[in-house]
Structure 1
């Protein structure tokens, strides 16, 4: 008996006509120089209930050095299952100030089985330039009961790091700004340029390429960059996107935009038959579905679903349609 499956298919469509979406500029672009900066450090987690590294050379050496810094000089070899060596990571915002707190992630690098209940000792966090920008410590949280069992060697310390050094940015003195599109597209870049110039009332923006829009700071906003960006980031722009299908063959999940179209074609896959812009011939069985010419992928999927297609069938059909040239859009396998 044929077992009907629930498809892992998401169609981002509400009809055959897709209108360009209006999006705020802040959701479309990043401002050059305004980003999170990764910082990292090596530390020790103590207070584990026998779930630490125990016997690891790196951990034991680090533990011995820690005692020496505290003025202790143990003569015997140190080994404890209550200690784990970890890597500590965080993201330092561009405009962080000294004393500001931020979350940190703690990950085991030894053979510890769990960081649950542990406390991170004071750990300096450095940037790519070798400078210490923050110091982290505190009690580790590994989430709820089920998540804790699955990912017990990774945890978080909410507000566990304190900023000790600020990034040197003369942001307010800038005479120009550069916007980088999160999803590069020539059409969207041109629309951003047009919108900014219309709203500011002058030729201040220019789209350099599909990824970049440069802005000359108007005289009235010089040394008022924050106010300028607060205005610009709320401008709304019609966005455009490439027609694309994302396929995960391992899970059978398909994500497709509703603006993807299918040209005239006949499909025969196993016991499934679909004809796009073809008349039904005498003798065809009832397993043939007719679909109008230049239909959307949404309509095609509905017809395939009605015939009992599985996710594997859909993936094979989409790939064949693309090779045939009947599917207007890109296919990306993940």
Structure 2
């Protein structure tokens, strides 16, 4: 039997124990307008140990260095700059919702030129701009590189580190706030992270039943609009906190995510399969009624004695045979294939083939 190398993750593995698993509204939706904003800027990292940009090849680095020195009153016009201790970088950060002046944010830096490493460098003060072109934060500080990546337990191994990427923890300071005031709103809109009509209706229903009367409604698959009751407007923040803590039973599409490089198959609990027979190499898989099963065990075998996943070897044919009764779900199929030692590539091909013949009602996403 071939060695088993595929990893299987089943979303909702315990769904049969709790078919009505709930989640908080705050975990599946966000308030429109109250969101993160992406910031980007350009800067210089100095203090590198000869691993910086070659100024002959990166004119933008030389221009940035010249402009920086001239702002400090140093005249370098006509000078032949040859330093390799500096690198031009992009600087990115995420501005959290409701971030106030002075709030610290983490910063990421990435080399723009032919810099070999940012190790040991210091980012000079760099303005970070939003999509509207305004400056919302300024970043500065020592650049850190992650030398080790934790694996299992306390064991650490060297990672495939890219030394032209780094980060500065709490290296950015918010200098400008996003103008967004809750107290002026008469109604709010929730935006689902994963749009679904059934989930949108469920969210509106649970809000109406618990805190808002009949003022919440699903506008579309992604949006729920809530008119704030007059008697709750004076305590708007408390209303939002109470609403976000309500629990709802979300609904999702049947989906399978496959990572071909690692052989990982992630299966949603909504995925089910129809009767189908699969033959690949020395492997036969049959979902539904199987004549060979009846030949070996008899057609009158009581259903309760037939295991949901029952594998055996057909001695006459000399090949593995996998039996799944009709109504089995995909996790049962994958579990059975794993027992037979199916390689990840074969597993992926089988799933794609089942989708092609209509035996698999699910969206397959390959990464």
Name the TM-score class by shorter chain: over 0.9
User: Of 178, 184, 196, which residue of structure 2 is paired with 1:173?
Assistant: 184
Task: Identify the range of structure 1 (243-252 vs 34-43) with the bigger mean alpha-carbon deviation.
Answer: 243-252
Is 1:105 equivalent to 2:108 in the alignment?
Answer: yes
Once the 2 structures are TM-superposed, how far is the Cα of residue 189 of structure 1 from its aligned partner? 0.7
- Alignment correspondent of 2:61: 59
Q: Please say if residues 145 and 167 of structure 2, whose CA atoms lie closer than 8 Å, have aligned partners that are also in contact.
A: yes
- Alignment correspondent of 1:143: 146
CA distance in 1, matches of 2:82, 2:22: 60
- Alignment correspondent of 2:326: 293
Once the 2 structures are TM-superposed, how far is the Cα of residue 328 of structure 1 from its aligned partner? 2.5
Is 1:8 equivalent to 2:7 in the alignment?
Answer: yes
What is the root-mean-square deviation of aligned Cα atoms in Å? 2.0
CA distance in 2, matches of 1:168, 1:305: 55
Q: Please say if residues 17 and 259 of structure 1, whose CA atoms lie closer than 8 Å, have aligned partners that are also in contact.
A: no
Is 1:227 equivalent to 2:260 in the alignment?
Answer: no
CA distance in 2, matches of 1:192, 1:318: 33
Once the 2 structures are TM-superposed, how far is the Cα of residue 94 of structure 1 from its aligned partner? 2.7
- Alignment correspondent of 1:303: 336
- What secondary structure does 1:167 align onto? coil
- Alignment correspondent of 2:30: 30
Q: Please say if residues 47 and 83 of structure 1, whose CA atoms lie closer than 8 Å, have aligned partners that are also in contact.
A: yes
Once the 2 structures are TM-superposed, how far is the Cα of residue 65 of structure 1 from its aligned partner? 1.1
- Alignment correspondent of 2:258: 247
Task: Identify the range of structure 1 (162-171 vs 229-238) with the bigger mean alpha-carbon deviation.
Answer: 162-171
- Alignment correspondent of 1:319: 352
CA distance in 2, matches of 1:271, 1:205: 57
Q: Please say if residues 60 and 79 of structure 1, whose CA atoms lie closer than 8 Å, have aligned partners that are also in contact.
A: no
Superimposed CA distance per residue, residues 254-307 of structure 1 (whole angstroms, 9 cap, x where no aligned partner): 111233212222221111112222233356656222211111112212222232
Once the 2 structures are TM-superposed, how far is the Cα of residue 10 of structure 1 from its aligned partner? 1.5
- Alignment correspondent of 2:152: none
Shift of the 247–86 alpha-carbon distance from structure 1 to 2, 3 Å rule, reads same
- What secondary structure does 1:295 align onto? coil
CA distance in 2, matches of 1:223, 1:71: 55
CA distance in 1, matches of 2:278, 2:159: 48
Q: Please say if residues 2 and 340 of structure 2, whose CA atoms lie closer than 8 Å, have aligned partners that are also in contact.
A: no
Is 1:260 equivalent to 2:262 in the alignment?
Answer: no
- Alignment correspondent of 1:130: 133
- Alignment correspondent of 1:86: 89
CA distance in 2, matches of 1:16, 1:294: 14
- What secondary structure does 1:39 align onto? strand
Superimposed CA distance per residue, residues 39-78 of structure 1 (whole angstroms, 9 cap, x where no aligned partner): 1111111100001003221111111111111111024122
Task: Identify the range of structure 1 (156-165 vs 220-229) with the bigger mean alpha-carbon deviation.
Answer: 220-229
CA distance in 1, matches of 2:116, 2:251: 48
Shift of the 15–285 alpha-carbon distance from structure 1 to 2, 3 Å rule, reads farther
Once the 2 structures are TM-superposed, how far is the Cα of residue 145 of structure 1 from its aligned partner? 4.9
Query: What does 1:72-83 align with in structure 2 at a 5 Å threshold?
Result: 72-74=74-76, 75-83=78-86
CA distance in 2, matches of 1:302, 1:112: 48
TM-score, with length taken from structure 2: 0.85
Task: Identify the range of structure 1 (256-265 vs 33-42) with the bigger mean alpha-carbon deviation.
Answer: 256-265
- Alignment correspondent of 2:313: none
Alignment gaps of 5+ in structure 2: 150-157, 296-315
Once the 2 structures are TM-superposed, how far is the Cα of residue 229 of structure 1 from its aligned partner? 1.1
Q: Please say if residues 18 and 259 of structure 1, whose CA atoms lie closer than 8 Å, have aligned partners that are also in contact.
A: no
Superimposed CA distance per residue, residues 8-57 of structure 1 (whole angstroms, 9 cap, x where no aligned partner): 22122247687142000000101101111111111111100001003221
- Alignment correspondent of 2:46: 46
Once the 2 structures are TM-superposed, how far is the Cα of residue 310 of structure 1 from its aligned partner? 1.4
The alignment of Structure 1 onto Structure 2 pairs a total of residues equal to: 333
